[in-house]
Amino acid sequence: MNIRIIAVGKIKEQYLKDALSEYKKRLSPFCSFSVTEIIAEQILDESLTDKYKKTEAQRIIQHIEENSFIITLEINGKNLSSEDFAQKIKMISHEGYSEIVFIIGGANGLDKQISDISNFKLSFSKMTFTHQMARLLLSEQIYRAFKIINNEKYHR
């Protein structure tokens, strides 16, 4: 199974880079895991937010393969327990998709075009997180999901 995160923006803090690198290493026995970073638009004018989101959406779409199951992280998405998230990943892998793509928007959020092509909308919380923190939380939950799927110790 290929799992990829497409995220708008770069990770700046070294401690987050180190943590993400650790989860990539931990995930290697379970899946092919990668992160694609999309250049974020600089917010120069708040009235142009929709334009910025459309530009970012075009960059995101260029990185989505045809037979991918797309999961967007959205504040109004569905909340899942870790066990339910694991079952979702397991179910998707049995449905014949070549890849699961998680999409994390930047400071502007996600354009409607991206939300519309999503196969599943996921929310961690009603709270807003930085894209860097969302990436770390998602990586940890993907790892936890594979541990649950494989009946390995990690989840309590």
- The predicted-structure confidence for 15-57, as pLDDT tens digits, reads as follows 999 999 999 999 999 999 999 999 998 877 888 889 999 999 9
User: How much is the pLDDT for 155?
Assistant: 62
pTM score: 0.94
Measured CA to CA, the distance from residue 21 to residue 139 in angstroms comes to 10
153 class by beta-carbon count within 10 Å (0-12 exposed, 13-18 middle, 19+ buried): exposed
Amino acid at 28: S
For the chain, domains (ranges, CATH) are 2-149 (3.40.1280.10)
Residue 42 pLDDT: 82
Alpha carbons 90 and 55: distance in angstroms, whole number: 33
Confidence of residue 116 (pLDDT cuts 50, 70, 90): very high
Residue pLDDT, tens place only, 67-115 = 999 999 999 999 999 999 999 999 999 998 989 999 999 888 899 999 9
Check if the beta carbon of residue 44 is closer than 8 Å to that of residue 111.
no
